[in-house]
């Protein structure tokens, strides 16, 4: 972009990359500091801090997980603690990958789509990159959900069919959202600079009102809420315990109205002789049906394909994030009761509703006090 005489796009791309990386590295560092001492890396704190300052914290986590996973795979005798240690590491990696996707890849995907529409030129590599990015965003949500389910004991894993539907309904809901934001930016690029902060602030306040308790202290908790608000700008993300049906309806209704207003603003502001007239057909015949199809697939998933259905057919119970149940879920942890991934426990309790929400405050790596 800079060599082509477009320094603004180059600066924006770098700013998105730097901001997303800094936020993810900050979360990784805060999590390592709050982990149980027995599960912290053997590296000195100064070296860990230097790795995160050099934006290598996530890479170090992946190498550490590979090392532990190698030991688990080749151990002659099953070591329950090593297996749980591997799960502990993989859950955090899944969460960081989700943050990275929505803070870095999704905004850059919107920017790339805007640039293609603005220049009316698309290279093959750009088309492949856009397609791959959309698939990666949906995959990160599926991976996050599967990671949460594996954190719970006595939970049925997602079947192949359930995973495909879960992947597709996220894909069909995210694609139209990114498209209408790019179309709105096509006519009012500075309008997005106003629209995003306003919607982000609304989502941040909504998350704050739900009383999240993910991080260890007030400051880091605000960072977590700010990052979740970015995710909510593009996709649904549950952060509170209890039934989510009403919250989900409110969220999707808000996003549908907001996206419709953005599309109408683009339609109202476009010139009749504009060369992007084909986009009108794309919006009317693809974006809206795609979003409605995504909502339909989500209803289908929770109605017929959710693991809950299999449990009910067998006479058991499996909590779902849109309903209630009678038993509280049990979480996988180490044999020692003081070793538990508090972060994933909080998220799992948010996704899988409890009949009696836990009132105890858990310190990360500590049992209830």
Give domain status of residue 16, yes or no. Answer: yes
Nearest to 97 by CA among 58, 41, 56: 58
Instruction: Write out pLDDT tens, residues 125-167.
Output: 888 888 898 999 999 999 988 888 776 665 567 788 889 999 9
For 195-241, how does the pLDDT look when each residue is reduced to its tens digit (9 = 90+)?
999 999 999 999 999 888 888 889 999 999 999 999 999 999 988 77
DSSP 350: H
**Mean pLDDT computed over every residue of the chain:** 80
- pLDDT bin (cut points 50, 70, 90) of residue 312 is low
Q: What is the pLDDT of residues 243-280, one digit of tens each?
A: 778 899 999 999 999 999 998 888 888 766 555 566 66
Q: Domain range for residue 36?
A: 2-269+276-307
pLDDT given for residue 224 in this prediction:
93
Burial class from Cβ neighbours inside 10 Å (0-12, 13-18, 19+) for residue 5 reads exposed
Domain-located, residue 175:
yes
Span 46-101, pLDDT tens digits: 999 999 999 999 999 999 999 888 888 877 556 677 777 787 888 889 999 999 99
What is the phi/psi pair of residue 175, to 5°?
Answer: -55, -50
The reply to whether 333 falls in a domain is no
Q: Is residue 332 part of a domain?
A: no
Of residues 110, 107, 86, the one with CA closest to residue 23? 107
- What average pLDDT score do residues 16-40 get? 89
pLDDT score for 204 = 97
Give the tokens for residue 195: 């629209």
359 domain residue, yes or no: no
- The domain total for the chain is 1
Question: Phi first, then psi: what are they for 176, rounded to 5°?
Answer: -65, -35
Domain assignment present for residue 320? The answer is no
How many Å apart are CA 87 and CA 65, to the nearest integer? Answer: 9
CA-based torsion, 129, 175, 299, 247: positive or negative: positive
Residue 66 lies in a domain: yes
DSSP string, 74-141: H-SS--HHHHHHHHHHHHHHHHHHHHHIIIIIHHHHHHHHHHHHHHT---HHHHHHHHHHHHHHHHHH
- 336 within domain boundaries: no
């Amino acid at each position: 972009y800079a060599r082509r005489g477009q320094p603004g796009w180059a600066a924006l791309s770098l700013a998105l990359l730097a901001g997303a990386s800094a936020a993810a590295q900050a979360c990784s560092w805060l999590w390592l500091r709050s982990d149980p001492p027995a599960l912290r890396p053997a590296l000195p704190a100064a070296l860990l801090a230097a790795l995160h300052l050099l934006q290598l914290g996530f890479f170090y986590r992946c190498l550490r997980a590979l090392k532990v996973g190698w030991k688990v795979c080749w151990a002659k005798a099953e070591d329950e603690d090593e297996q749980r240690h591997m799960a502990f590491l993989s859950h955090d990696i899944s969460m960081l990958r989700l943050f990275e996707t929505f803070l870095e890849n999704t905004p850059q995907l919107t920017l790339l789509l805007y640039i293609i529409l603005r220049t009316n030129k698309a290279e093959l590599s750009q088309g492949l990159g856009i397609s791959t990015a959309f698939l990666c965003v949906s995959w990160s949500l599926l991976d996050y959900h599967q990671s949460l389910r594996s954190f719970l004991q006595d939970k049925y894993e997602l079947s192949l069919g359930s995973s495909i539907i879960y992947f597709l309904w996220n894909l069909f809901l995210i694609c139209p959202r990114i498209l209408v934001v790019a179309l709105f930016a096509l006519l009012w690029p500075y309008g997005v600079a106003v629209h995003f902060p306003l919607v982000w602030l609304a989502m941040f306040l909504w998350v704050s009102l739900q009383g999240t308790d993910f991080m260890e202290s007030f400051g880091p908790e605000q960072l977590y809420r700010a990052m979740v608000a970015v995710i909510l700008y593009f996709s649904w993300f549950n952060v509170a315990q209890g039934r989510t049906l009403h919250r989900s309806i409110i969220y999707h209704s808000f996003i549908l109205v907001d996206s419709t207003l953005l599309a109408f603003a683009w339609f109202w502001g476009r010139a009749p002789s504009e060369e992007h007239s084909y986009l009108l057909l794309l919006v009317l015949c693809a974006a809206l049906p795609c979003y409605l199809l995504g909502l339909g697939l989500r209803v289908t998933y929770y109605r017929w394909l959710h693991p809950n259905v299999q449990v009910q057919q067998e006479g058991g119970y499996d909590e779902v994030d849109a309903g209630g149940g009678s038993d509280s879920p049990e979480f996988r942890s180490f044999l020692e009761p003081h070793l538990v991934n508090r972060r994933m426990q909080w998220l799992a309790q948010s996704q899988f509703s409890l009949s009696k929400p836990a009132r105890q405050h858990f310190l990360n790596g500590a049992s209830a006090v």
